Amino acid sequence: MTSSNLDIWTAALERTRKASPASFEQWFSSIQFDKLEPGRLELTARDEFVRDWVKTHFLPSLVNTIDELRAQGAPAAPDLGEPTQVEWRISSELNNPVCDGKTLRPAVRPRRLQVSEPPPPSSRPDSPSRFEAPSPARIQPVRASLKDVLNPKYTFENFVVGPSNELAYAAAMSSAGDDGPRYNPLFICGGTGLGKTHLVHAIAQRLLDQKPNARVIYVSAERFTNEFIEALQHQKMDEFRNRYRRECDLLLLDDIQFLAGREQTQEEFFHTFNALHEADRPIVVTSDTYPQQLQRMPERLVSRFTSGLVADVQVPRLETRVAIVRKKAQLEGIPLTDEVAVLLAQNVQSNVRELEGALIRLAAKSSLTGRPIDYEFASRELAAVAPRRQEPVSVQDIQRAVCNHFRLTNAELLSKDRHKSVAFARQVAMYLCRQRLRCSYPELGRSFGNRDHTTVMSAVRRVEALRQKDPQVNAHLEAIEQELASSGE
Ligand code: ADP
Ligand code: MG
């Protein structure tokens, strides 16, 4: 093996570790690196379980990095087009695992050379590891780990409430309240970047402010899984169960969808849930879908999730988005005019994380170039990032998007059919045309099969009202709006 192969392996491994510091050590102490050559990586795993986990969770990015580094190192070499294939061996005895205990070992030489090799440098006291030692994955004391994981900015005070999230917000406040939760469990669900994690961090921080000794656990489902597996591997199940079932006053489990198909962890969580529920301890779970839509989740868990309160967070409407931008700007000390706040909120519609990202980018660009964030600067920057979002759509575009969404033909949409689902789709299309294109009611009547303008007016009002109170209607509208945005791209 050439030294550049070793270097590539070492660098790729280090990047992988940085990406998942919490679970890296746990898995890579059961993996041995054997050989890397162009197009081929050889590894040994302690057993099939470890191999499969590493294959799914670490290999795609590890192999990508290897290929990337190789391409950078020798762009002219002819055989570099071949992506790296991984060959696995299984062996319960690993001579030289990738990391041991606290230390990530530097890359080792091929196994067949090891007989005459000195012990790996990391085990010699005078040879410090080339890597910063990762903290060992272990079950940490509740408060110590909590401090590390809670984002101090994710508080109730910093959360902007609007129609899209008011139920989730109120329910979260009640979970952290003095009288205990009104609903147990609380299941907060919704798309990515809409504030679920923010809310559960806020619950933890509020409770700890009020009761500093409360035993709060905030854990992602991924971490719960890793801790569970590690407890199994090291015969520490008693410790694990004590921590989650007995020494816990409030359990916040983030991103439950991660448990999909992980039957053993689901089983363990089921018993954890029951123990806490029976003891009247609040449980808050977040998910990217409604409980009934969770994939590969057993019915008994789904029915427990629905037994308390299911509160969703939706994409916030324009006014809420503007308020969020203002709040973030204030928190980050970014000077922002109202005009620019509205411009941002109009341009970034689908998720709050992206909205925040756009604001931070503007601020960074402004401080680099010394230009104030005025309207002109902001609109130019936003246009550069998302040039097509603003492209005009026509009545026909909207009708087409609505037909696609509801699986109707254009003729059906414009017909006199009063069947409920067709009529609803038609009303939605009228509403979107009015909202997006500002067409007059008589004009719209003509575009929709020569209908009377009063029919259009009442359709628009009906959808407007439904959107406020019915999350399903809102979801339909968001999906169509998204389709319109992406069809312009
Ligand atoms: P999720 O867990 O739903 O994917 P997060 O809670 O991580 O989303 O939120 C993404 C970002 O958006 C965070 O920085 C969060 O503070 C912010 N955010 C989302 N909703 C709101 C809101 N209503 N008010 C203030 N910030 C919000
Ligand atoms: Mg989250």
Smallest CA separation from ligand 1 atom 16, residue: 198
**Cβ 194 under 6 angstroms from ligand 1:** yes
Which atom of ligand 1 approaches the CA of 191 most closely? 3
Cβ-based burial of 295 (10 A; exposed 0-12, middle 13-18, buried ≥19): exposed
For domain 141-313, the CATH superfamily is P-loop containing nucleotide triphosphate hydrolases (3.40.50.300)
Predicted pLDDT at 392: 66
Tell me the pLDDT tens digit for each residue of 114-146.
322 223 333 333 222 322 233 333 333 343 468
Mutation to probe ligand 1, out of 194, 199, 332 (largest number of atoms < 8 A from CB)? 194
Tell me the pLDDT tens digit for each residue of 218-262.
999 999 999 999 999 999 999 999 999 999 999 999 999 999 999
**Cβ 187 under 6 angstroms from ligand 1:** no
Predicted pLDDT at 393: 80
Predicted pLDDT at 384: 76
Q: Residues 336, 329: contact at Cβ < 8 Å?
A: yes
Q: Which CATH class is domain 3-104?
A: alpha beta
Predicted pLDDT at 112: 31
**Cβ 198 under 6 angstroms from ligand 1:** yes
> Where are the domains positioned within the chain?
3-104, 141-313, 318-385, 395-487
Which atom of ligand 1 approaches the CA of 159 most closely? 24
Q: What residues in the chain have per-residue pLDDT under 50?
A: 3, 77-79, 101-144, 387-389, 489
Which run of H or of E encompasses 273? Answer: helix 263-278
**Cβ 398 under 6 angstroms from ligand 1:** no
395-487 adopts what CATH topology? Answer: Chromosomal Replication Initiator Protein Dnaa; Chain: A; (1.10.1750)
318-385 adopts what CATH topology? Answer: Helicase, Ruva Protein; domain 3 (1.10.8)
**Cβ 434 under 6 angstroms from ligand 1:** no
Which atom of ligand 1 approaches the CA of 192 most closely? 4
CA quadruple 367, 370, 375, 381: dihedral, nearest 10: -60
* Cis peptide bond N-terminal to 38, omega within 30: no
The separation between CA 409 and the C-alpha centre of its own chain, rounded to angstroms, equals: 36
Predicted pLDDT at 383: 82
CA of 221 to the centre of ligand 1 (A): 18
Predicted pLDDT at 152: 92
Full-prediction pTM beyond 0.75? no
Predicted pLDDT at 143: 38
